[in-house]
Each structure stands twice: as structure tokens, then as C-alpha cells.
Amino acid sequence: FHLYLDSADLGELRRCLPHPVVHGVTTNPTLLRRAGVRRAGLPDLLGEMLAMGARQVQAQVQSQDAPGMLDDAHDLLRHFAPGQLVIKIPATREGLRAGAQLVARGVPVTYTAVYALEQVHFAAQLGASYAAPYLGRLDDSGVDGLALIARMQALLQSCGGATRLLVASVRDREAYLNLLRLGVGAITIPPRLLGELLDHPATLQAEQAFLADAQASD
């Protein structure tokens, strides 16, 4: 199982990394914009994340046609060692084309913005590392996101390949726990949710009580 942080904000990432439960960081153009990072600054930003202890980073192409997507991907890939960077590509008609070429060259690919079973099947057929459905946004659109993701997970298991779900748009602890129950391969969460998962108030309170008792008996 791989847990990623979904953020382009180095300040909030620095408060979380390195941590042994966190495998890496996922970004997308919306997160970059929110963090005020320009496209030209993306390789440096990703390099900083790796230096902070992310074992892998994921960054998205911005073009909409396959040749442009491949150019975007190669512009990023030349800055990193093999395996450090996963290329995220929207699961569009053109995205599937571009991703297939990257996979053929040994580049790990995440098909993102996945909303339907057939997209998951294409990701598996093309040998992508991940298909990334958006749980919260599926729910927003009136679909039962968890039920659909359960079907996606079953489909991948029946395909028997190496493609895994990387579930994004995970907004609360309940959603996270439901996904764990489904056995999805990876989840990406906002750093604030990692804080909630790592710092259980009752555990912190117990630790304080142990500390007080330890000091009292010294």
C-alpha cells in the first residue's frame, strides 16, 4: 500500500515529511496554481519534495494532445532518476495514446481524472502503474463514489495485472478508512488529513498522562 500527500505547498509538506508512512507526493496543475508555482518551477519543486524525503513524486502533463503530453513528460523526466517521477496523464482519448508510449519506454504512468470503469480497464490494458479515481468529486456528481471504486477495484483484480488504484479527492478519515477496507493499492490525501490520521487526540492525551506520571515518579 502506498500513501501519497496531494499538495504542491512546500510549507505544508515540510511539516509532514519525511515520515515512514508516506511514500510520496502527488501534484496537479490546480495544486500548483494554488501554491503559486509556475510551470517552469515544477522540476525544482519536485526536486525539493524528493530532498524532503518523498520516495516518489507524481506530476501531470498540461498539453491536451498526445505529442504535447509526451513533450511535457520528457521535459520533466530528464531532471530525475528512473522511478522517482510518475507522469500523471488525464484519462482522455489523447492521454491514453501518450501514456501507452511512455509505458512502452518504461516510464511509470498514472491515468488521472478517472470517473468510469472503462477508463480503469484501459489503464490496466495499457500497463499503467495507477488509475486515479476522484472519490469526493464522484460523490459531488451524484454518483456513489465508494461503490464505483469498489467495482473498479474488483475489475483490476480480475484483470490480474500490475495496475493499481490511486484514489484521490479523499476528504475525510471515514473515506480513507472505507478505501482501506476495499484494499485499494494507493491513496493520496491532503496534508491536513494526514495530521488527523497521525495525531489521535486520545493517544496524545494518554502520552501526556504517561509523561506526567513518569515525571512524578522520577
Rg, C-alpha atoms of the chain: 19
Of residues 30 and 205, the one with the C-beta less far from ligand E4P:
30
What gap in Å lies between CA 108 and CA 182, rounded to an integer?
A: 24
Of residues 29 and 208, the one with the C-beta less far from ligand E4P:
29
Of residues 2 and 137, the one with the C-beta less far from ligand E4P:
137
**Kind of pairing between the strands at 2-6 and 164-167:** unpaired
Is 136 near ligand E4P (CB under 6 A)?
Answer: yes
Residue 172 CB contacts under 8 Å (≥ 6 apart), including other chains: 193
Q: Quick check: 96 and 126 in contact, CB under 8 A?
A: yes
Catalytic pick among 56, 88, 114, 135:
88
What gap in Å lies between CA 85 and CA 36, rounded to an integer?
A: 21
Is 87 near ligand E4P (CB under 6 A)?
Answer: no
**21: nearest Cα among 167, 175, 191, 182:** 191
Of residues 122 and 130, the one with the C-beta less far from ligand E4P:
130
Name the helix (H) or strand (E) containing 58. Answer: strand 56-60
Site for ligand E4P (CB under 6 A): which residue of 119, 129, 153, 169? 169
88 has catalytic annotation: yes
Q: How far is the CB of 127 from ligand E4P (least distance, A)?
A: 21
Is 122 near ligand E4P (CB under 6 A)?
Answer: no
Binding-site residue total for ligand E4P (CB under 6 A)? 10
Tell me phi and psi for residue 131, to 5 degrees: -120, 130
What gap in Å lies between CA 115 and CA 127, rounded to an integer?
A: 18
Give the x/- contact pattern for ligand E4P in 26-55, rule: CB under 6 A: --x--x------------------------
Site for ligand E4P (CB under 6 A): which residue of 86, 107, 168, 189? 168
Residues that bind ligand E4P (CB under 6 A): 6, 28, 31, 112, 134, 136-137, 168-169, 171
